[in-house]
Structure 1
Amino acid sequence: MLRAYLSVSLLLFMLLLAGCSSAPEPTKVAAPSPNQLLLPVKTLAAFEQQWRGVPYRYGGSSKRGIDCSGFVQLTYQQLARMNLPRTTEEQASRGVKVARSELVSGDLVFFKTGWSSRHVGIYLSHNNFMHASTSEGVTISSLNTPYWRDAFWQARRLIAITQ
């Protein structure tokens, strides 16, 4: 009898807990107004000009050579005072996902460039993004070129946390 009472009590307790849970609302990302952009296109373009042509170097983080995730990390650190992880995979988990059609200046754009290879850049405007290219070093490329269009994986918007 006691065993049946405990079983029923446990079942009722579990049902009570389950009834209190709810699924979180999906994140909706509104396009920021131009004065709310974390990194305006003019600021990004000026920064890219300072780094243009710096050769690609895997694991690099200086003007002697830099890789794609290092360039993104450095850009956000210097221009937005935001600390991002060092690797493309870790950066791809930050912020909120946005549709390619909703990209704004400063959004991160990610690409699958091989079976297990990933690449990251920073969206500017008009389908252009800046990145550290293995063939050209730091440069600006178009999302409309067949290579980048086909390799496009996802885009993420980083949100500044203000207190």
Structure 2
Amino acid sequence: MTALNRVPSLLTRATTASALTLVAVGGGIVAPGAASEASAAAPGAKALKVAASKKGAPYRYGATGPSRFDCSGLTLYSFKKAGKTLPRTAAGQYNKTKRVKAGNRSKGDLVFFYSGRNVYHVGIYAGGGKMWHSPKTGDVVRLSKIWTKSVKYGRVR
């Protein structure tokens, strides 16, 4: 076999070895165009972790943390820690986010509850039909099942 005939074989082995090395050290292979999707999801993933870290924090109307929250106060605080600025209210946050269809929702997207045209509650989508939120007076920040289909999803940009 000549050196010229061995080039494709050597390239295949080199590419496989590089991919295996990436996987072994916790890296990944990103397809062209996928980097922008991943970077867009990063603030949501960070905000989700922040919200989960506040598990058990008491609800308090108008509170924005760090130890007490209302629903939009929790989302505002969580995204602020992730480097993003949101308006104070659930309705304001709804107006600031990019709409996402339920089938395209991702962990870290905001979940907005509405009645008619009014947005009255917000949480952070955690996957599996659940969200982190600060529900109401007398309750605490917790992971809950999304209890209605009357929700819309928004992605923080």
Corresponding position of 1:127: 129
Aligned length: 122
Contact 1:68 1:132 in 2 (8 A): yes
Mapping of residues 80-159 of structure 1, within 5 Å: 81-112=83-114, 118-134=120-136, 136-143=139-146, 148-150=147-149, 152-159=150-157
Per-residue CA shift, 1:46-65, capped at 9, x if unaligned? Answer: 42343111111110122442
Relative distance call for 1:40 and 1:158 in structure 2 (3 A) is: closer
1:2-41 paired onto structure 2 within 5 Å? 33-34=37-38, 36-39=40-43, 41=45
> 4+ runs of 1 displaced by more than 4 Å?
32-36, 113-117
Hey, what does 2:71 align to over in structure 1?
A: 68
Could you say what the CA RMSD is over the residues aligned between the two structures, in angstroms?
2.7
What is the Cα deviation at residue 141 of structure 1? 1.0
Mapped contact 2:47–2:81 kept (Cα < 8 A) = no
What secondary structure does 2:76 align onto? Answer: helix
**1:106-131 deviation line (CA, Å, top 9, x unaligned):** 11110126995600011121222111
**Aligned position for 2:18:** none
Runs of 5+ consecutive residues of structure 1 not aligned to the other structure:
1-29
Q: Which residue of 1 aligns with 2:27?
A: none
Q: Greater CA deviation, 97-106 or 107-116?
A: 107-116
TM-score when normalising by structure 2: 0.66
Residue aligned with 1:120, SS: strand
Are the structure 2 counterparts of residues 115 and 57 from structure 1 closer, same or farther at C-alpha, using a change threshold of 3 Å?
farther
Distance 1:54 1:33, change over 3 A: same
Instruction: Give the one of 69, 77, 88 matched to 2:80.
Output: 77
Matched-pair identity in %: 28
The amino acid that maps onto 1:98 is V
| TM-score normalised by length of structure 1 | 0.63
2:73 aligned with 1:56: no
Whether the 8 Å contact between 1:113 and 1:119 is mirrored in structure 2 is: no
Instruction: Spell out, residue by residue over 1:119-150, the C-alpha distance to the aligned partner (whole angstroms, 9 max, x if none).
Output: 0011121222111111531111122xxxx224
Alpha-carbon spacing, 1:40–1:77, altered in 2? closer, same or farther (3 Å): closer
